[in-house]
Structure 1
Amino acid sequence: MKKILFSLLTIIFFLQNANASSPQVPDYIIFKGDTIPVYNLLVEKYFDNIKKSDNGELFGLKFREGSTTFCWRGYQAVYEIDNDSLFVKHIIYCGELFDGNEIDVIESNKRLRDFFKNKVRNNRVLVDWYSGDLNLPKENLLRWDGVFHKSFEKEISIEIKAGEITNISLIENYIDDPNRINRRYKDTISKVLFNELYKLNWNNKKDFDCSEKYIVTIGKNGEVSDVIMSEYQTKEEIKEFWDRNEYNYCLKAVRKGLRDLKFDILKINGKPVEERYYVEIWVEEDGKLEEWTEY
């Protein structure tokens, strides 16, 4: 008799590419008297803009080789909003602000001059190479990619054009609808999906076995928008490992079992996003799913 195991691993849609696999410290921004973590790497964008190689070192601070695991870059930037403009105010070594320590302003100013040269004015640099949004945490962590990027239920969105502040607004990244399924905590969604699939009788006249790994996508509207088999993507793979009728039957069964679910809307930077989940099921001979297990 087959044992049943159901597992689901969240894949965060807005996972960013990173040079390290361990959690990384953010930069900071001084805004209305508060020093707030910020998850936008604006100094790196300047580096991209001038098309200059880092050569493994910036601001006299080496990184990658010999750098700490929590700060792959080897430095942190501190920004400041002043007179409706965004500036780089300090370049500090990793963790310099930990435990309430003060910034070594002399060393910071030296790093600014050495790198930005004549762009330095009054010991700071206008971020004139950046146009876009800068979002600051306001309320409750919503999603984290496990390395750097974090999204919050409410954020302060600062619109910037060539370093000048054009608008500041409050955005909400989570729509709490009492008639929909709570989506705040990604590790609870697996149980919801299992409960829906548990209702199905997996017995069928042709004795198809749908024990397999699937990828379930919750779309931007909070509904299941797609289900695919995770290991068989190409027509050649499907033809080699599956009977076409069995393959179509199983996908249809999973899609049908999840189609009525409606989750709360999740957003990143105020825009709805989708999330994907791995779902692995084994079906018993009686067509039922056993006790739910997650790993």
Structure 2
Amino acid sequence: MKRILLYIIFLSSNIGLCQYQQKAGQPYTEPDLLIWKNDTIQIQTFPLYCWSKFDQNKLFDTQNVKPECWGCLKNYTAEWKIINDKLYLSNIYSFNFKKDSIKIDLNKLFPNKVESNLVFANWYSGDLFVPQGEKIWMSQSPGFPIYESEWNLTFKEGKIENKVFKTGNYHKSIYTQDPKEIVSFIDNHLDQETRTKLKNKRISILFKTGKSKKDYSVSLKGVDDKKLELKLINILKVLPDFDYYYRHGEELNLTIPLTYIDNRL
């Protein structure tokens, strides 16, 4: 008996009105930097986009600064600091700073607003997500990271109003780590009558993740027999666990299509 299993992953999520974030499924966006609690952390919430005078095309005047990665649009890396629960902009570097050493003169961009080489980000009201712990990569290469934990810092006019720490942002089951496991699970739960009906069948299985290990849905394509379809769905619904993913405080709806082919002679 020979079975082939193929799968593709697609993701989708939302963007907030002001707290501009990289959307799931987009090509990787170079993160900003946040200096907080004696640590420098990569973040993919971009407060500079919320500044009313922000124009990326004019950031570097006549200097032609372009990102050197496929699909990337953001041509800068902003550096932020949180001091006494206030958000400050400390630097804006070109995307290729390690090569061209170009960075913005904050005094020119924010006249009369710079104190001790910092600009108070009083224009920013919204959530800022600060990742912590291990990460996995999702979507197309290089995709985007999902971290084990993250802080959700809520700002109003540049000042922190609320802090929430959330852990357990993802669970990756053995079935997506090794697709052969789902084949074994199906085989172990088939009776002889069902095996006979599946001979030489090609079936598309569609998994959709939910809020927890037990919260997932299953649908099938390529099964003409409704009773057989229901039986297979009921088998797949009793997996011990399945994947779930959260990022920037939101559940990610992960869709995993599987092609199940029975090539028995």
Q: Call closer, same or farther: CA 1:31–1:222 in 2, change over 3 Å.
A: same
Q: Distance in 1 between matches of 2:213 and 2:24?
A: 28
After superposition, residues 247-262 of structure 1 pair within 5 angstroms as 248-249=226-227, 251-262=229-240
Task: Name the CA distance, whole Å, in 1 between partners of 2:229 and 2:113.
Answer: 58
Residue 246 of structure 1 corresponds to 224
Q: Are residues 1:79 and 2:69 paired?
A: no
> Residues 79-130 of structure 1, C-alpha deviation per residue, up to 9 Å, x if partnerless?
11112111111101124369xx9x87xx53x2x3444445545543333333
Query: What per-residue deviation string (whole Å, max 9, x for no partner) do you get for residues 225-268 of structure 1?
Result: 323457xxxxxxxxxxx7xx816456434422211114265433
Task: Give the Cα separation in 2 of the matches to 1:147 and 1:117.
Answer: 38
**TM-score, reference length from structure 1:** 0.67
Q: 1:48-63 to 2 correspondence within 5 Å?
A: 50=52, 54=56, 56-60=57-61, 62-63=64-65
The DSSP-based 3-state class of the residue aligned with 1:198 is: helix
2:69 aligns with: 69
In the alignment, is residue 219 of structure 1 matched against residue 210 of structure 2? yes
Q: Tell me, yes or no, if structure 1 residue 168 matches structure 2 residue 157.
A: no
Q: For residues 31-56 of structure 1, what are the alpha-carbon distances to aligned partners after superposition, in whole Å with 9 as ceiling and x for unaligned?
A: 1232221121222233xxx38764x4
Which ranges of structure 2 fall in alignment gaps of 5 or more residues? 15-21
2:10 is aligned to 11
Q: Deviations over 1:52-84 (max 9, x none)?
A: 764x45333545xx5311764221100111121
Task: Quote the RMSD (CA, aligned, Å).
Answer: 3.8
Change (3 A) 1:214 1:57: farther
**Residue 279 (1) aligns with residue 255 (2):** no
- The whole-number CA distance in structure 1 between the counterparts of 2:87 and 2:185 is 49
Q: Which amino acid aligns with 1:67?
A: P
* 8 Å contact from structure 1 (residues 222, 266) kept in 2: no
Say if 2:49 is the partner of 1:44.
yes
**Counterpart of 1:293?**
none
Instruction: Please tell me whether the aligned partners of residues 11 and 254 of structure 2 are also in contact (alpha carbons under 8 angstroms).
Output: yes
Q: Displacement, 1:214?
A: 3.0
Q: What is aligned with 1:203?
A: 196
Work out the CA distance in 2 between the residues paired with 1:282 and 1:155: 40
Q: Which runs of 5+ in 1 are unaligned?
A: 176-181, 231-241, 287-295
Q: Is the 8 A contact 2:132 2:147 kept in 1?
A: yes
**Residue type of the alignment partner of 1:154:** S
> Contact (CA 8 Å) 1:13, 1:275: kept in 2 or not?
yes
Percent identity between the two aligned chains:
20
Which residue of the partner structure matches residue 130 of structure 2?
136
Q: How far 1:215 sits from its partner (Å)?
A: 2.0
Q: TM-score, normalised by structure 2?
A: 0.73
Q: SS at 2:177's partner residue?
A: helix
1:5 CA drift (Å): 1.2
